[in-house]
Amino acid sequence: MRKTTTAVLMGGVAAAALAAPAAADEHESAVSVLHGVPGLTVDVYVNGQEAIPDFEPGTLTDPMMLAAGSYDIEIYADGDDPSTAEPALSAMGLEVPGGANLTLAAHLGEDGTPMLGAFVNDVSPTQAGEARLTVRHVAAAPGVDVRAGGSPVIQGLTNPDEQVLDLPAGTVSADVVLAGTEDVVLGPADVDLAEGTNTIVYAWGSAEEGTLDLAIQTIEGLHTPPEGVPSGEGGPADSSALLVLALAGIAGAAVAGRQIVRATARD
């Protein structure tokens, strides 16, 4: 079977990848890995060496520090390796910039095709009293609209887009409808967001196969409020509310998604 790999490195990625709190200096980056392909335990190889064995669906690793440079990422079915099989997914020549915070995600495309993507996590400072919400649609699911107060604020959001929003720490409310309709599929529901964090919510799995699920990544320390400024309060988000946000995101000051690598499964 012929393996097809497509890599797209968008201009300005290094500039957009602002220094991560976890990064030691500008010569290395913090890289997390999400397994969002249902039903398959895998082994992840980096530059020919096994880096993450027995990687189960829904797992999100802690950040790993990688030196800036070029990396070959290969994902094998659990128990396979470069000497016995071809990778199920790969991204060859992935350029990791220095001083960045990235998440590499193995997930399904909208049509259910496994693919490999990498996202730059926004770790720029938030303002006092604000939180950041990042929502990534990486599920085999159709496009949706998100409404606030009954009015659409995002229309036709599809896999693999993301939305990033800085908003006052506290509660966000939304519901989700099928794109272009009034058919509510989720919500309305509320989410509490903590000040000075980037809460990154991934919707992964397959709607058709009934495997939709969530993975949540939280990056802290984006803002230390000056003395006397209320920090606000945030707590664990209700799962139904997170799914509302995970399938679409909330608009307003949303920033365009920075997807830097996209690789398809082998034929």
Place of tokens 């506290």: 170
Judge whether 230 and 141 are in contact, CB under 8 Å: no
3-class state of residue 19 by DSSP: coil
Judge whether 14 and 100 are in contact, CB under 8 Å: yes
Reported as a single tens digit per residue, the pLDDT across 140-149 is 888 777 665 6
Number of Cβ within a 10 Å radius of residue 186? 20
Reported as a single tens digit per residue, the pLDDT across 178-212 is 778 887 766 676 767 889 999 887 878 888 888 87
Place of tokens 């659990």: 78
- What is the rounded distance in angstroms from the CA atom of residue 178 to the CA atom of residue 168? 27
Reported as a single tens digit per residue, the pLDDT across 109-135 is 999 999 988 899 999 999 999 998 887
Between residues 188 and 71, which one has the greater pLDDT?
Answer: 71
> Domain spans of the chain?
13-122+258-264, 130-256
Judge whether 205 and 110 are in contact, CB under 8 Å: no
Provide the pLDDT confidence category of residue 235 given band limits of 50, 70 and 90: very low
Query: Which numeric CATH code is attached to 13-122+258-264?
Result: 2.60.40
Written as six digits, the tokens of 99 are: 């001083």
Average pLDDT estimate for 39-67: 95
Q: Is the pLDDT of residue 168 over 70?
A: yes
- What is the rounded distance in angstroms from the CA atom of residue 104 to the CA atom of residue 116? 7
Can you give the pTM of this predicted structure? 0.75
- What is the rounded distance in angstroms from the CA atom of residue 248 to the CA atom of residue 203? 9
Q: Is the pLDDT of residue 17 over 60?
A: no
pLDDT at 58: 94
Question: Running DSSP on this structure, what letter comes out for residue 214?
Answer: E
- What is the rounded distance in angstroms from the CA atom of residue 179 to the CA atom of residue 173? 18
Question: Running DSSP on this structure, what letter comes out for residue 60?
Answer: B
